[in-house]
Amino acid sequence: MKKVYTHNDRFMVFQVKQLLDDKGIDCFIKNEFAIGAVGELSAVDAAPEVWIVDEEWLPKVEQFIRRFEEQPESSESWLCKTCNELNEPNFEVCWKCGTDIYDN
């Protein structure tokens, strides 16, 4: 098992977990509810973390997370590089060809 992502914002952690789940990568969140223990634990030790079960996935996971972090938070539509279809900003998968925004 290997820790691959941590962030103080639980929403970001859950997005990364969902991204990995969607890719079929076995993962889990550690310290999901530890924020309530801050004071007993340091804030660093209580931050939620995404862990993968199979470390063989590590190079791909690092690539997926890097692309996730590079995605601008935007309300702009995005152009699929596979089929050149314009997609709404809330779509993570091209509605026309099914290409994942992170594979784009």
Burial (CB < 10 A; 0-12, 13-18, 19+), residue 74, is exposed
- Residue by residue, pLDDT tens for the chain (104 residues) are 999 999 888 889 999 999 999 999 999 999 887 565 555 555 566 789 999 999 999 999 999 999 888 776 667 888 999 999 999 887 888 999 998 887 75
Task: Write down the pLDDT at residue 78.
Answer: 85
**What is the DSSP track for 2-38?**
EEEEE-S-HHHHHHHHHHHHHTT--EEEESTTGGGGB
Q: Map out the domains of the chain as residue ranges.
A: 2-70, 75-104
